[in-house]
Structure 1
Amino acid sequence: MRSGILALVAGLLTLRFLPVLPPFWLLALLPIVGLMLLPFRSYPIALFLFGFTWACVSAQWALDDRLAPSLDARTLWLQGRVVGLPEVSDGVVRFELEQTVSRRGVLPERLRLSWYGGPALHAGETWRLAVRLKRPHGLVNPQAFDYEAWLLAQRIGATGTVKTGELIYPASGAGAWRDRLRQHLLATPAHGRAGALAALVLGDGAGLSTADWQVLQATGTVHLMVISGQHIGLLATLLYGLVAGLARLGLWPRRWPWLPCACVLALTGALAYGALTGFEVPVQRACVMVALVLLWRWRFRHLGVGLPVLLALLAVLLLEPLVSLQPGFWLSFGAVMLLILIFSGRLGAWPWWGTLLRAQWAMAIGLLPLLLALGLPVSASGPLANLVAVPVVGLLVVPVALLGTLLLPLPGVGAALLGVAGWLLDWLFGLLAQLALWMPAWLPSALPFWAWLLVALGALVLLLPAALPVRSLGVLMLMPLLFTAQSRPEHGRAEVWMLDVGQGLAVLVRTQKHEVLYDAGPRFGEFDTGERVVLPSLRALDVRGLDLLLLSHADSDHAGGAVAIKRGLPVGRVISGEPYKLARSLQAQVCAAESWQWDGVHFSTWQWVDAVNGNQASCVLRIEASGERLWLTGDIDSQAERALLNSGLAMPAHWLLAPHHGSRSSSSAALLAKVKPFAVLISRGAHNAFAHPHAEVMTRYQAIAAQPYDTARHGAVRIRLGAFEPAQGLRDYARFWQEK
């Protein structure tokens, strides 16, 4: 039985690693092959094929439900119903729409929309909206959140920006009730932690600030504020323990068998909590697991503890195969399996404090390989933070908050209980903030597969019983974390990464022993690509410090992420075309005409001294490695380009960064005639509001046969300068969910 379940699960999980989905004819053939194998007792292979086929078919349905290419970037009127709880941040309302209809064509089942300066929206309302729709698209970098995978896993077929709209029908249904309850919770003083209470009671994290999320991530406690299996499981455990405790004390009615009553009450509480939080995918996963564990406890304990977990894993994947695209799926089931490994089959009873310590030890060591594989930060303070935070949130805050919510109709009682829960959360966040300052999160460099495999084996060895003599070898097997470094460019060559930061710019240049970052990515309100995209990518590329941070000028799309970069990495020197407009903490110096050499690679800077605006004042960087030359041009316009041509610098180059993202006012014919690039680099956001790159500019590049490398189409682009090779875009490494 277990082998069949494992084979079916393996087939379902294979979807996560596919570069492309199989063609329809093959998906139709595979189940037939599986049925033919059943008479030959090859049922594990048959079940693997069944699972694989179902996962691929489900994924293809989701891909087919994406916005039609003919409607991409078009504005049209549509009507739909708001689902979930809308979020408001920096004056932007973000929400999801279902049951969408339009006269202009068939729309996806679910849309994710943003309304800048929009009115207050409520779950359950029906709106008629003018929306500029876009097919799912995200940034693709060496290390960053995979937005396209997340959208597909949520079965969101398009995103868009609302231009205007009108309310058709007021809020109704369960969603409207949850929205009203959220307003009550947010109106509760709760020592300033009403947003955290809404996150715990309703699964709505919009009330948590960016600083709160940073503290949670640094201390490895994000899972406490995101409704997951832990919250559902703890509530079910408390309800089960209440009945079991009454039965042990002789206070439970004898005519009612306590065990089935405890299981039914625990499952009812878990389902009610799940309904309160909106039954998102992680909550569905948790409820399925709780149901199977309770069924096992009631009737099937003789089958062993691992079977209900396997059945829960199978049920979750059968219901939603795309869940394997989400990191939370791997971490939640990984945590459960680690706890089973630690606590099953051990001799003797442990004290409660020993149980907590061993659980945190298991999580810290056992989840390390998963965190590395998923590219997530590793919290050094996580074990200590969770040792305190898990019992506080699970045993105190959540029960008190749920009870306070239930008693809100009673004047003063519910609000008082929510105030107690808020006070506990305020104290906890203060403690976590101190831990985050003491031991910030660590994002290690991407490891080669052999090093990752060694670390994973080392973690497994460390989790074995202490009596085994090989256990000490686990520490040695973790050494690749500290001593494995990525290969560096040879002397006289450079590695160049144009990162995918949307409508902005960030270019990393690495020589054998030095690193330069040209621009730091944009910042839009609270979304700082320097912190969210550039910094994680630099760490994944094994950049441990910058010799030079060169900010072409002070515009937010070029320098917005600079403060976060300097805060996260040692920076030797900062120069800019507009140093006086940058934050004082950067201590930026004026861009001057300089030339230097690092590891056989030549660098030169230039700035137009007669510039009259920030774009013209961009600090330009020329790089030459083994005779191959690259120009990084910031946002200079045609006038600044003319001054550059008259500067006397050697102009012909193999690579040219399109000035000003390909704006019509740049990339003049005179510049292209002098530089004669073989390839042009374009950093821009897909469907950006400026229509970059302009059609006339692209026509000029086509006239000189310059090969374009566009972040919106290729993702982050890597160049081995000095090797005279074509560039590589990360979108060239196929993933079935990514747009090409």
Structure 2
Amino acid sequence: MRTGMFALALGLLALRFLPALPSVGWLLVLPVVALMMLPFRTYPLAFFLLGLGWACLSAQWALDDRLASELDGQTRWVEGRVTGLTQHTEGVVRFELSDGRSRKAKLPKRIRLTWHGGPPVQGGERWRLAVTLKRPSGLLNFHGFDQQAWLLTRRVGATGSVKDGQRLAPARHAWRDSIRQQLLAVDAQGREAGLAALVLGDGSGLLREDWRILQDTGTVHLLVISGQHIGLLSGLIYALVAGLARYGAWPRRIPWLPWACGLAFAAALAYGLLAGFEVPVQRACVMVGLVLLWRLRFRHLGIWWPLLLALNAVLVMEPLASLQPGFWLSFAAVAVLVLAFSGRLGPWRVWHAWTRAQWLIAIGLFPLILVLGLPVSLSAPLANLFAVPWISVVVLPLAVLGTLLLAVPVLGSGLLWLAGGALNGLFTALGVLAGQLPAWIPAEMPFGFWLLSLIGALLLLMPTGIPFRLLGWPLLLLAVFVPGEDIPRGQVEVVQLDVGQGLAIVLRTRHHTLLYDAGPRLGDFDLGARVVLPSLRKWGVTQLDLMVLSHADADHAGGAAAVARGLPVKRVVGGETVGLALFLQAQPCASGEQWEWDGVTFQLWQWSDAVSGNQKSCVLQVQASGKRLLLTGDIDHQAERALLSTPLAVGTDWLQAPHHGSRSSSSWPFLQRLAPAAVLISRGHGNGFGHPHPRVLERYHQVGSAIYDSAEQGAVRFRLGTDDPPVTARSQRRFWRPPVIGRYQKQQPAT
């Protein structure tokens, strides 16, 4: 039976790695074949097929519930009820609408909405809203957060921006929102938002600096409700009953063990309901329930049995959970502890067990964090060493008890004041640690190096005395000293990042790195910090030799400050120096300036008679082994006409579409002269400017240009100076982001 359960788990987990889902016919055939195989010795394969079939069927239901293509971009009146907790950040309200209805249109069951400058919205209210609807999408880069996968795991079938709306009915059963308002209203020594995150799982009120500290110290799991909180609370209840029984304070007529397990599970469920019972909380409750059941009745089966059952139970309940990094990290952490502690011949002292547990988790999760592309916290073992008991023994009990006693004057608010002070002290200590050891973003790693680091981690998790165990250290550290990518002389690697309605292009020669524009920033949404900087670090870039900011518009230069804070920048050149951050100390763009890096030639140009900011864009031409790339910023027809009288107006292999492909740019004479083999378009999906304009696209087709659009293909990477075809982020097939079939489908790679 254990073999069957293991095969079932493999089938459920296989969904994560499928490039495409099987057809409906195969989904109907799989369970039939599996049931026919069950009575025979091939039953493990039958369980595998059952798991795979159920996972694929559940994923297909989620994909079928997405917004219809013909409704994408339309503005409609939608009526529905607000679910969950709403988020209010710098004048922006974000919330989810369930069971939305619209005339003559079928809508997904769940829609995620954004309302700029909207009124207060509370969970449980019913609204009628004018919404511009969009199919689930997101920025798609070679590294980083996959928003499409995240939306799918939440079974969000559409997103949208609210233009107007009216409240139809007040909130009903919005007790979580009511508790949040009370928590935010008490005096918790400035940590009211932190207590709301700890008690309700609502992290929307945390500051960016708070998130940075938590990420740098590897303690995010301690503040926003996770499986650890559920386990801690149920463990405290279990320990309380066990302690009373041990010291004779528990009634002898009542068996303490069933009551300890029952009360602990009840506490887990109650805390889970308080947290909204999302998928991570469901996962934690299932794990706690199975562990308690194992403790009560099935200890003779071993500790791996409840872990395997919990894994299957979670995935059967929600097969899409395997798309979440938290799923892999939580189960892997438990597996690491089980592996490490079950292999010991003798017990450790409490302090030794606790300190070693932190280091073992850090070592065991290291290869998994690498493959998931997450930042590595170097200070996590030390931070969790004191943060976990502090949250478990001090902050969490005070916060939960204070929340339960809010109706009691002074007592509830007093406990929350103490909890806030304890949390503030923890943040102070974590802030000092984060300042000394910030999170490390490892460089891209070949599969062979990752496999060796995995073997090293497994060796270090083995008990003392295992042969060659100490070889785990050099194998593990191979991940730290990964050799950088070797770019031959005379070539330059070019990556147009997907930063939505903005521009950011990275150019790397053998020994130098240049950044052309740094992505947009809108309020607290800074793509320089979220996309550009992590990508540079992922490629092993330790400093920028030059940052060229075409002009000062926020969609081109908004992320520059974040990049400059995260990496040393030797020199900054701007088409406009007014309007840029003062500490950037940008130099004006000097037309005709030319230099060479590693056999690659660079040349700047700016129209001397420019009036507007777009016209002042600093243009950069790159030549590598006879191939040319022209980066144009936001120049318009007039600037293009002026450029035609310069040496830059020659045949070009790659052209960055001026002004995101707007109607005011990419004039016919300009394209005729350059005759670009390929065009890069950087723009946001469904942007309100209508970029790229259909007439501009038609001109590109007329000159025979292949078109690479970030909104449809994501980030684009190619080597200038070679005939190698470019690679797009969407070419990495995943079932939740099928290939786009549309106006660019027939394009051919540039040569």
Under TM normalisation by the shorter chain, which class is it? over 0.9
Q: Which of 334, 337, 342 pairs up with 1:336?
A: 334
How far did 1:572 drift? 1.9
Q: Which amino acid aligns with 2:74?
A: R
Tell me what 1:561 maps to.
559
d(CA) in 2 for partners of 1:328 and 1:649? 50
Deviates more, 1:557-566 or 1:433-442: 557-566
- CA deviations on 1:379-423 (whole Å, 9 max, x unpaired) are 111111111111111221111100001111110000000000000
- 1:697 matched to which residue of 2? 696
Write the distance in 1 (CA, Å) between the matches of 2:412 and 2:335: 38
- Partner in structure 1 of residue 526 of structure 2: 528
Worse-superposed segment, 603-612 or 312-321:
603-612
Match of 2:626 in 1: 627
Q: Deviations over 1:170-220 (max 9, x none)?
A: 1002xx111111000000110000000000111111111111111101111
| In 2: Cα distance, 1:597 partner to 1:226 partner | 50
Residues in 1 aligned to 2:372 and 2:40: alpha-carbon distance in whole angstroms: 39
- Per the alignment, in what secondary structure is the counterpart of residue 214 of structure 2? helix
Structure 1 residue identity aligned to 2:327: F
Secondary structure of the residue aligned to 2:543 is coil
1:166 aligns to what? 166
Letter in 1 for 2:599: G
Partners of 1:511 and 1:599 within 8 A in 2? yes
Extract unaligned runs of 5+ from structure 1.
Answer: none
> 1:602 — aligned with what?
601
Give 1:486-497 correspondences, 5 Å limit. Answer: 486-497=484-495
Using the size of structure 1 for normalisation, the TM-score is 0.98
Shift of 1:291: 0.5
Could you say which residue in structure 1 is the equivalent of 2:252? 254
Give the match for residue 460 of structure 2: 462
Q: Secondary structure at the match of 1:542?
A: coil
The CA distance in 1 between the partners of 2:278 and 2:31, in whole Å, is: 31
Give 1:297's aligned residue.
295
User: Secondary structure of the equivalent of 2:573?
Assistant: strand
Contact persistence 1:485–1:542 (CA under 8 A): no
C-alpha offsets along residues 602-644 of structure 1, whole Å, 9 cap, x if unaligned? Answer: 1111111221121111111001111111100001111111111
Letter in structure 2 aligned against 1:719:
F
Question: Could you tell me how far 1:649 is from its partner in structure 2?
Answer: 3.0
- 3-state DSSP of counterpart to 1:39: coil
CA offset digits 1:709-728 (Å, max 9, x no partner): 10001100112111134322
**Counterpart in the other structure of 1:88:** 88
Name the CA distance, whole Å, in 2 between partners of 1:380 and 1:649: 48
The aligned length equals: 738
Find the aligned partners of 2:41 and 2:95 in 1 and give their Cα distance.
50
1:156: which partner in 2?
156
Look up the match of 2:499.
501
Q: Residue 717 of structure 2 aligns to a residue in which SS?
A: strand
Post-superposition shift, 1:465? Answer: 1.2
Query: Residues 616 and 640 of structure 1 are in contact (CA less than 8 Å); yes or no, is this contact kept in structure 2?
Result: yes
Amino acid at match of 2:342: S
User: Are the counterparts in 1 of residues 681 and 709 from structure 2 also a CA contact under 8 Å?
Assistant: yes
Who is 2:477 aligned against? 479
| Contact kept in structure 1, 2:649 and 2:673, CA below 8 Å | no
- How far, CA to CA, are the matches of 2:464 and 2:512 in structure 1? 44
Partners of 2:296 and 2:697 in 1: CA distance: 69
Cα separation, 2, equivalents of 1:545 and 1:667: 34
Correspondence for 1:219: 217
State the Cα distance separating 1:650 from its structure 2 match: 4.3
Contact 2:610/2:616 (CA < 8 Å) preserved in 1? yes
- Which residue pairs with 1:440 in the alignment? 438
Q: Is the 8 A contact 1:404 1:415 kept in 2?
A: yes
CA contact (8 A) 1:142 1:540 kept: no
- Which amino acid in 1 is paired with 2:124? G
Deviation at 1:345?
3.6
Deviation at 1:38, TM superposition (A): 2.4
User: TM-score, normalising length from structure 2?
Assistant: 0.97
Q: CA deviation at 1:682?
A: 0.2
Can you list the C-alpha shifts for 1:2-40, whole angstroms capped at 9, x where unaligned? Answer: 211110000000000011111111122222222232233
Q: Does 1:376 align with 2:335?
A: no
Question: 1:75 and 2:96 equivalent?
Answer: no
Residue-by-residue CA offset, 1:292-342 (whole Å, 9 max, x unaligned) = 000110111111111111100000000000000000000010111111112
Deviation at 1:568, TM superposition (A): 1.6
Q: CA RMSD in A?
A: 1.1
- TM-aligned CA deviation for residue 486 of structure 1: 4.1
Structure 1 residue 101 displacement after superposition: 1.0
Paired with 1:611 and 1:489, the residues of 2 have a C-alpha distance of 37
Give the letter for the 2:35 counterpart.
L
**Identity of paired residues, percent?**
61
Shift in Å, 1:469: 3.6
Alignment correspondent of 2:747: none
Partner of 1:717: 716
Please give the alpha-carbon distance, in whole angstroms, between the structure 1 residues aligned to 2:669 and 2:321: 53
Counterpart for residue 32 of structure 2: 32
Q: Residue 743 of structure 2 corresponds to which residue in structure 1?
A: none
Amino acid at match of 1:686: H
Equivalent runs, 1:322-401 vs 2, <5 Å: 322-401=320-399
Alpha-carbon distance in 1 for matches of 2:638, 2:726: 29
Q: Identify the residue that residue 617 of structure 1 maps to in structure 2.
A: 616
Letter in 2 for 1:327: P
Distance 1:104 1:39 in 2: 50
Please say if 1:57 is aligned against 2:57: yes
Structure 2, unaligned runs of 5 or more = 741-751
Contact 1:142–1:541 under 8 Å retained in 2: no
Structure 2 counterpart SS, 1:99: strand
DSSP 3-state at the match of 1:106: coil
- Contact in 1 for aligned 2:343/2:462 (Cα 8 Å): no
Partner SS state of residue 96, structure 2 = strand
